[in-house]
Homo-oligomer: A and B are copies of this chain.
Amino acid sequence: MAKVTYEKEITALLVIDPYNDFISEGGKLWDRLKGVAEANNCVPHMLQVLNVARVAGLRVFYALHRQYRPGDYEAWKYIAPVQKAAWAHRTFEYGTWGGQIRAEFEPKPGEIVATEHWCSSGFANTDLDLQLKKHGIHKLIVIGLIAHTCVEATVRFAAELGYDVTMVKDATADYSDEEMHAALDVNIPNYASAIVTTKEVVDSISSL
């Protein structure tokens, strides 16, 4: 793959759902993600990309799923299966460790945490698009969880809304290789202009 280049002023890192429930030992979904995540070194890769982005001065944004709170969904007349599951498992429960961002990924001052999303896309019903525009961002480097739901949804919405997307394929994970494949090989190639490894993107960012 040809080297991907970025202009610092218009490029941001977007970190999706780095919650303990997803990526920390003891998290509600870690056991289901662990196989794929450990095989591709997902968490160390995410950290590597985050750290190099910070050093290079790229703006960092966080897209975070709704932390479950009592009452959520109860009066909804229409509810998608992915939301029913979040409700049943109280995933990312507000006020619990599982609903907190894994410590190493804690946002630093000046990093932007978008309002929480209710389904999968970090853009839907949130201020992410606004915040990106307010900071002059047009290109997104995407890392995080999980590949075929929140990550793919956010990449799709980013493209639909006019952003250029780079997907870091070994800084994400999923419940199975089949779901990783559906996201990374079948669908995201239609919407992300580049799909790269952590090593490739770290090289690109380091040279900024």
Give chain B residues whose Cβ lies under 8 Å from the Cβ of A189.
Answer: 81
Most chain B CB within a 10 A radius of its CB, from A75, A139, A165: A75
Most chain B CB within a 10 A radius of its CB, from A71, A110, A152, A161: A161
In the complex, the answer to whether B160 meets A121 with C-beta atoms within 8 Å is yes
Give chain B residues whose Cβ lies under 8 Å from the Cβ of A139.
Answer: 78
Interface check A200, CB cutoff 8 A: no
Most chain B CB within a 10 A radius of its CB, from A75, A125, A157, A193: A125
What is the total number of residues of chain A having a CB less than 8 Å from a CB of chain B? Answer: 54
Interface check A192, CB cutoff 8 A: yes
Q: Mark the stretch among A16-24, A38-46, A130-138 that contacts chain B.
A: A130-138
In the complex, the answer to whether A126 meets B124 with C-beta atoms within 8 Å is no
Give chain B residues whose Cβ lies under 8 Å from the Cβ of A142.
Answer: none
The residue of chain B having its C-beta at the shortest distance from the C-beta of A71 within the complex is B109
Give chain B residues whose Cβ lies under 8 Å from the Cβ of A100.
Answer: none
In the complex, the answer to whether B126 meets A127 with C-beta atoms within 8 Å is yes
In the complex, the answer to whether A135 meets B75 with C-beta atoms within 8 Å is yes
Pairs across A and B, CB under 8 Å, 27 listed = A77-B134, A78-B133, A78-B134, A78-B138, A78-B139, A78-B163, A79-B193, A80-B190, A80-B191, A80-B193, A81-B190, A82-B159, A119-B160, A120-B190, A120-B191, A125-B127, A125-B129, A129-B161, A130-B161, A133-B163, A148-B190, A153-B156, A153-B160, A178-B186, A181-B182, A182-B186, A182-B187
